[in-house]
Amino acid sequence: MDSWTIVLLSLVIGILLVGCGVLIVYLGALTKNAYQIKVELQQDLANGLQTIEKESEKTSRRLKRELAEEAERNRDAIMREIQVSLNDIATKVGSRVEAIEAAQRIDRTNVSTLAGSLKKDIFTVEQRLKLLRRDLDKRLPPPEKEPVETQPDPAAEGVPTAPETPTEQVSAAESPAYG
């Protein structure tokens, strides 16, 4: 082997070694750049997520506020409707109560008028009964002293009795209760 071959071979090996060194340095730089890009992407992603979170929080707060306002408006509207319904019901119930009270007053008036009329009729019948008893006492002979079985007086208990003699019968036309 001659010297030129050795030099050439040494030169090729040197170039290969330098090429490998350059390639190693280049790969190191690429790796470093790739790592920096990865870190920057992570930071950008974290910043993007933070801004998205902030925006979503703002949006959710705004939506919550709008929902609360809408719920308040709905509640107020429902309360107004309920109040109107209650007022209508109270008015209807009040008018029914007034109608019932008026009907009861009329019934009481009718009952008291009827009771007064019945009292007058009872008084008239009692007066007539007293007159009939006096007439009967005048017409009947005095009772004998023999012990007689006593019976309760049906007229005193309010039970009508049949007249014993035809003279005691009174026509309905003569009765003051019917006249």
What confidence tens digit (pLDDT) does each residue in 158-167 have? 555 555 544 4
Two tokens at 123? 């008084």
Q: Is the pLDDT of residue 85 over 50?
A: yes
Average pLDDT over residues 143-153: 60
3-class DSSP assignment, residue 140 = coil
d(CA 168, CA 135): 8
CB 129 within 8 Å of CB 155? yes
Q: For a pLDDT cut of 70, what percent of the chain falls above it?
A: 78
Q: Is the pLDDT of residue 90 over 90?
A: yes
d(CA 55, CA 31): 35
Backbone torsion region of residue 143, taken as left when φ is above 0, otherwise alpha when ψ lies between -120 and 50, otherwise beta? beta
Number of H helices, E strands in the chain: 1, 0
CB 176 within 8 Å of CB 124? yes
The long-range contacts involving 124-131, CB below 8 angstroms and separated by at least 24 positions, are 124/175, 124/176, 124/177, 125/177, 127/176, 128/170, 128/175, 128/176, 128/177, 129/155
d(CA 13, CA 113): 144
Residue 171: pLDDT band with limits 50, 70, 90: very low
Amino acid at 2: D
